[in-house]
Amino acid sequence: MNPMPQFSSFMMGGFESSTHRGPNRERVDVIQGSGHDVHCAEDYALLAGAGIYTVRDALRWHLIETVPYAYDWKSFLPMLNAAREHDLQMVWDLCHWGIPDGLDPFSPDFIARFAAFAKAAAIQICESDAASEGSHFYCPINEMSFWSWVGGDEEHFFPFGRGRARELKQQLVRASLAAMRSICEVDTRARFIQAEPIISITEHEARPEDAIVAAGHTAAQFEVWDMLAGKACSEVGGTSESLDILGVNYYWNNQWIHGGERTPLGHNSHTPLHELLETIWNRYERPIVLTETGVEGSSGAGWLGYVCAEVRRAQRAGVPVLGICLYPVMDYPGWTDDRHCSCGLIACSPDWSKRWLRTEYSDELRFQRAGQETR
């Protein structure tokens, strides 16, 4: 078992980093769309000024490797340098659903190229951070379960598959395992966060016969972690040592009735977040980070208060929840309609050229941070 990781701040911030191809087959690049690629130093400074010193951000593989096994780091180095300038501890997503053009995720070449890219990225990160002694945190592939479903069964994300979710999930896990092995060859301080959505699905009270199906869908949330840990699909090569830190992504709409409505906070079928966290801890006994949580609109500060209260309750029950990442921590353009999605701690002007802290959010963050420090 790896030692308990140490994070620079309990409250973390994550920038929306999707780079997938959506239903219109066009590339999404939220980092570019929000201006974060140009303003990353300013964005990081705002987080540091608000007391957030652990930040989740992403490399854009499709920009870095336009020619197989040849890497152009100009899209990444400004972020890497800005993080060092502001003394931030980074969690780097290596693949946030986006892969280079022309690469088939079902091919063996996908695994080989991702492992080589991950190793090359780790070298860049190690060289930038050679003077420090802390861990380097990597999230190899974000939300493999979600990507497998939306891209392997629903034809909504690349590779636009139908009936291939299981195959895609196994392939993504193989790639993640290969990437971790290759990173460890060059980075002795590497720690890995596997970020997956946590869900709860129940049957409608008028359809009790749906209970087994609903329970099966809920149980499917564990498949990626089980594969990584060698508990399922041994052919993909997972081991107990491969499962390091569990990243859980949780939003208001992560619970629903099978075939029906969402069951948000206050619904009689809603499972409190602390119970979901306890279930995960009892199953894996691995440290947990909420790698994504937030809400769009004016309810963000209230949602943060709820999540913090639930996390403290889980902690009192012995669950090692080591951080909460506000995600997205800054406004971003919508994936399909380019609308201005207002969310998180950092607000942006309509043209994305200016950014500032939301007062109600920063006040709530300060209040919750004080509560965590005196827990």
β strands within the chain, DSSP E = 11-14, 54-58, 89-95, 136-141, 190-197, 200-202, 245-249, 255-257, 288-293, 321-326, 332-333, 340-341, 346-348, 355-357
Contact 5, 191 (CB under 8 A): yes
| CATH code of 242's domain | 3.20.20.80
| 151 in any annotated domain | yes
The mean pLDDT of 92-120, rounded to a whole number, is 98
In the predicted model, is pLDDT for residue 374 greater than 70? no
pLDDT attached to residue 371: 67
The domain total for the chain is 1
DSSP secondary structure code for residue 112 in this structure? H
Tens digits of per-residue pLDDT, 298-327? 999 999 999 999 999 999 999 999 999 999
What sections of 130-230 are H helices per DSSP? 144-152, 165-184, 211-219, 223-228
Residue 4 counted as domain residue:
no
Residue 348 scores a pLDDT above 90: yes
Q: What confidence tier does 373 reach under pLDDT thresholds 50, 70, 90? A: low
**Domain membership flag for residue 150:** yes
pLDDT at 121 over 50: yes
Structural domain contains residue 3: no
pLDDT value at residue 129: 86
**For tokens 């990225």, what's the residue?**
121
Instruction: Answer whether residue 159 is part of any domain.
Output: yes
Q: Does the residue 259 lie in any domain?
A: yes
Residue 305 burial (CB count, 10 A): 14
Residue 1 lies in a domain: no
Ranking 6-15, 29-38, 101-110, 203-212 by mean pLDDT, the lowest is 203-212
Structural domain containing residue 208: 11-373
Q: How confident is the model at residue 372 (pLDDT cuts 50, 70, 90)?
A: low
134 against 374, higher pLDDT: 134
> What's the pLDDT tens digit per position in 152-210?
999 999 999 999 999 999 999 999 999 999 999 999 999 999 999 999 999 998 888 88
Asked if residue 161 is part of any domain, the answer here is yes
Q: β-strands 190-197, 346-348: how paired?
A: unpaired
